[in-house]
Chains A and B, each alone.
Chain A
Amino acid sequence: MKTAFKNSFIYKNPSVLIFLSALAILTIGMTILSEGFGVGLVSTSFIKILGKTLCFCLIAIAMDLVWGYCGILSLGHFAFFGLGGYMVGMWLMFARTKDIVINSMVNAPLPPTPNEIRDAVGSQIFGVVGGSEIPMIWMFADSLLIQLLLVILVPGLLAFVFGYLAFRSRVTGVYLSILTQAMTLALSLYLFQNDSGLRGNNGLSGLQNIPGLTEVSQDIISVWFLWASAIALGLGYIIANWLISGKFGSVVRAIRDDETRVRYLGYTVEIYKLLVFVITAIIAAIAGALYYPQAGIINPAEIAPIASIYLAVWVAIGGRGRIYGAVIGAASVTLISSWFTGGQIPNISLGFYTIKWIDWWLVILGFGFVAITLYAPSGLGGLFDRLVRKQVNEESK
C-alpha cells in the first residue's frame, strides 16, 4: 500500500498537490469574496480578469510543454486558442440570436418557418458586417454539443496537418518558429476578411451573454467561469505533469536536448513531436473556449502573431521547463498589465514632466523582458526554485 503510494504520480510530483491546493484556495477564496456569491469585496470585473488569467495560465502550460519540454518554439499557439474561442463563440452567438429572433416573431401573423428563422438569424448576425446569409461553416452552430466537439477537433486537425507537414520535412529551430508564426498570421489575415464567414474584423461579440441564461447576472456567471477555468487549469496541470513524468516525458526531453541522437536510438521523433504539438494545441483550444465567453468578444486581432510571441514571453519569464513557471509567468504578466493599464495608479509629476504609467508601462515591460532573459535565464520560476532549494539545504544542514 505504502509503496503503491510512493510509486504514484502525485508522490513523485509534490508540486502538483501544492499547486492544486493553491488553486483551490484561490478559487474558493475569490468565490467567498465575490459579488455574485460572497461578501462582495472583490468586483466582478476582477473575477473576470482572474478567470481569463487562469485561461492564459492554461495555454502557457501548453506552451511550456511544447517549448520548454519538447524544444519547439511555437509562435502560433494562439491560433489554436483563438479557434477554440471561435468554435464556442459560434454557438453562443447563434443560439442567443435565435432566441431573440424567435421571441420577436411570436406575434407574427404566420408562425415562422425554419427558413425564416434562419434568414432572420443570418441578417441579425451578419447584418452588422454587411452580409445577411449564414455561411456553410455555421451549419452546426445550432448544436452546443457539436460545437464543443469542434473546439477540440478543428484546432486538433489544424495542428495535426500543420505538424505532420512540418515535422515530416524536418523543419526545426528558428525555421519552425517562423513557420508557426506564418500559420497564425495567415489564419488571422484570413479571418480579417469580411467574407471569411466569421464576421471579419468585428469577430463574434456579446459572448458573455449565455443563451438561455439571460436572467442570470454576470456577477454569478463570472464565478462559474472562474470555477470552470480553475478546474480546466487544474486538470491541465495534472495532465502536463503526468505527461512529462513518465517515459514519454523522458523521450520528449531527450528530443529537445538532441534530436538526432534520439532518432539514432530508434525512436520515431516525428510522432512524439506531432503528439506533443497536437495535445498542446487542444489544451490551447480548450483554454480559448473558456476564455472568450469571459472576454465577451473574439476577433482576428486576437490571433495576430504578437499574441503568440507574448505567450512565449510569459513562459520565458516564468521559467520554461517548469510547469508552474509557465503559470507564474502568465499570471504575473497579465495581472500586472491589466493593473497598469487600468488607470488606477496615480501619475508621478516631476515638475517638468509627468510620468503617466499608461505611457510608460510598455517600456517598463519591454525592458523587463530583457532584464529577465539576461539576468534570470530560468525566469521567475528559477528564482522560486532557488528559494525552495535554499530552504531545503538549510533544513538538511
Chain B
Amino acid sequence: MTKKANPHLTALAAISMITVSATMAMAADTIKIGVLHSLSGTMAISETTLKDTVELLIDQQNAKGGLLGKQLEAVVVDPASDWPLFAEKARELLTVSKVDVIFGSWTSVSRKSALPVLEELNGLMFYPVQYEGEESSKNVFYTGAAPNQQAIPATDYFLEELGVEKFALLGTDYVYPRTTNKILEQYLKDKGIDASDIFVNYTPFGHSDWSKIVADVVALGADGKKVGVISTINGDANIGFYKELAAAGISADDIPVIAFSVGEEELSGLDTSNLVGHLAAWNYFQSAESPANAKFIKTWKARMGDKRVTNDPMEAHYIGFNMWVNAVTAAGTTDVDKVRTAMYGQKFPNLTGGTAEMLTNHHLSKPVLIGEIQADGQFDIISQTEPVNGDAWTDFLAESKVLKSDWKDLKCGMYNTETKSCVQIKSNY
C-alpha cells in the first residue's frame, strides 16, 4: 500500500518554508493535543517515554470514540532539550497548531521557559514530573509530586523508621535538587538535626566519576551516627552512582539511599542485584497491585515491547490526561478557562488503588509510596500513606510559609495570607 507514489513526499514539497498560520487552521474536526517533550538531547532519555504515553492515551481515547464526538490528534514537537525551544515550541503549538492542551516538560527550567508563553496566550499544560514546588501557575496543572508529597515523607521515613541521624544530600546542580535540599535542610534543622550533620554535594548533569563522593559519604559514619543518603541525582548520572555504591559494597542496611529521581526507567539501565534494599520515594511504582495498574502495564507492554517498564511520571500523565478528558466532557468544550474550572475537584482512580483529586492549587492529592529496590529492577512497596494534598508553597521555608495558592476562590497562585493580598497573578519564572 505504500508502494505507489508517496503522497507524503508531495505534501512535503508543497509545504512552503514559511509556516503560514492559515494553513494550519484547516483541520478543525479534531481536538489537537500538543506533546512538548524532548525527543533528542540529554532529556530524551526520560521524556521520550512520556511522549509515547500520551500517544497511547490518545489512541485509547480515540478507540473509545474520541471526545465531544471528535477524534483526538497528537501534535508532537521536539524541543530537543534546548530550554529556549520550549518557549518557541509552546508558542508554535498554541498559535500555529492551535492545540487545546499541552502535555509536556520534564525539567523545571523547561517548564519555566514555557510558562510565560502559556500565561500570555492562556494555554493549558499538564506537567507530569515531581518538582520543587514554589510555583502555581493558572495555566499549568502539576500532576507530579510537590515536595510535601515526596521529599518530606521520605525524610520522615528516614528519621522515624530508619533512625538516620546524619544526612548526605546528594544532587545534580540544578533547581530541583537545590530547592528541595534547601527545604529539607530547614526541615531537618527543625527536627533537631545539627547543621554539621548535613552534608550537601552537587554534581553536574551526567556526572560519572563517583568514587570520591561515595568515599566521602562512607567517611561520614566516623562519628558513630547512622548515615543516610537523600539523592536528587538526576537521570543517567544515577547509573554511575549506583554502580560505585555497589562496588564499594555499601549495603542498604549500613547506609540507606533514598532517591527522588530514580524509577523503574532509570534502573533498567543497570544491574540491580547489588542495590537491593536501597529506596525510592514516588507516588507510583510499577509493582503497585491494582486492576487498573495491571491493565495499564499490559497495554503499555503490548504497544512498546515486553521489556519496557512504567514509572511515576507516566502515571501522572495517565491521571492528568483522563482528568482533562473528564473535565472537557463536563464543560462540553475545550475552552481553556471552562476546562480549568471544571478541573477543580475532578476525581480519577489512580493506578495504586486510590483516587486522585485535583485541588484548587492545581496540584493533585496522591499517596506517597516508598519502595525498596529489588534484584529484578522493580520496587517492593514497603510503605504507602493516605493521599497527601500537594502543597505549592512549602510550609518549611519562612518566605513561602505565608503563601497560598487557590485558583478557585482567591483566583491567585501566590496569595500572601499575612497581608491578605495577591503577590502576583502570573507566576515567577
Contacts and interface: CB of A to CB of B under 8 A. Distances in A.
Q: Do chains A and B touch in the complex (CB under 8 A)?
A: yes
Interface in B76-101: 76-80, 82-85, 87-89, 91-92, 95-97
Contacts of A218: 120
Interface stretch (A44-52, A64-72, A368-376): A44-52
A205 B19 contact: no
Interface residues of B, number: 65
B196 interface: no
Interface in B361-387: none
Contacts of A193: 173, 202
A208 B173 contact: no
B394 to A, nearest CB: 11
Contacts of B416: 104
What class of interface size applies to chain A in its complex with B?
35 or more
A178 interface: no
Contact of B202 (A103, A194, A350, A351): A194
Contact of B19 (A296, A299, A342, A349): A342
Give the most central of B76, B85, B109, B135: most A CB within 10 Å: B109
Interface string A171-193: 00000000000000000010011
A297 interface: yes
Contacts of A295: 84, 87-88
Contacts of A44: 91, 95
Contact of A205 (B18, B24, B78, B116): B116
Contact of B112 (A100, A194, A297, A338): A297
Interface stretch (B274-282, B307-315, B419-427): B419-427
A199 to B, nearest CB: 8
Contacts, number: 173
A210 B102 CA distance: 25
Interface string A365-395: 0000000000000000000000000000000
B423 A45 contact: no
Contacts of A302: 84
B15 interface: yes
Contacts of B88: 45, 48-49, 295, 338
A338 B79 CA distance: 9
Given A201-B174, A206-B115, A342 B83 contact: no
B47 interface: no
Interface stretch (B5-13, B221-229, B265-273): B5-13
7 contacts: A107-B419, A206-B429, A296-B87, A297-B84, A335-B17, A344-B24, A347-B8
The 9 closest A-B pairs by CB, nearest first: A201-B174, A130-B178, A295-B84, A343-B77, A130-B182, A296-B87, A45-B91, A43-B21, A206-B429
Interface of B: 1-2, 6, 8-9, 11-12, 15, 17-22, 24, 39-40, 75-80, 82-85, 87-89, 91-92, 95-97, 108-109, 112-113, 115-117, 120, 132, 134-135, 173-175, 178-179, 181-182, 202, 204, 399-400, 416, 419, 421-424, 428-429
Given A41-B21, A107-B421, A344-B19, 5 more contacts: A192-B174, A194-B174, A296-B87, A343-B78, A346-B8
Interface of A: 35, 40-46, 48-49, 97, 100, 103-104, 107-108, 123-125, 127-130, 132, 189, 192-194, 200-203, 205-206, 208-209, 218, 292, 295-299, 301-302, 335, 338-339, 341-351, 358-359, 362
